[in-house]
Structure 1
Amino acid sequence: MTLRTAPAPTTGRLRTVWATAHAPVAGVPRWARIAAYIIPFTVLPSGLWRIAMVVYVCYAPLLLWGPLLAVVPVAYGQRRRRAAPTPGISR
């Protein structure tokens, strides 16, 4: 069974609310309005930088795990070959 709903009314209420919320307020100097528009552009990049650093710090161990799995066995094998043979144990 399919339920049919009436389409949302297109009265432009959202557009009216948006325009009202973003209309310049009387008595506010122009420099204050410009500063209010500039603040997000100065805060956003620093926030993105912090997020990027957190991601980098969290994923660095995961990214280094593969090379570590390659280096550790090689180093172990080299150390075993350099070690003097133990008396009484035949290889």
Structure 2
Amino acid sequence: MPDLNSPLEPLDDDDVASPCIKHCVVDLSGICVGCHRSLDEIATWGTSSARTRRDVLERCNQRQQASRPGNSSPGNDGQRNADTETCD
């Protein structure tokens, strides 16, 4: 399991790895609590350019930071809608 305290980063400029950690649970705001992507970001990942993927990873990092204990963020209300499928 990846270290959740370190930022999600791509492998290199041409190969941007999916941030999916196979903990696919979507909260009430539509954000996966495992990888911190929105449902739209998950759905379009496979066809996204490397630049777009890096932009998504930056937003994931921001959401991850905001979701840490002590930080308040929209949608971080502790309620989750379980979804057992992975979302590479």
Output the TM-score relative to the length of structure 1: 0.23
**Structure 1 or 2: more helix by fraction:** 1
Say which one has the larger Rg.
1
Q: Which has the higher contact order (CA 8 A, sep 6+)?
A: 2
**TM-score normalized by structure 2?**
0.24
| Greater per-residue strand proportion | 2
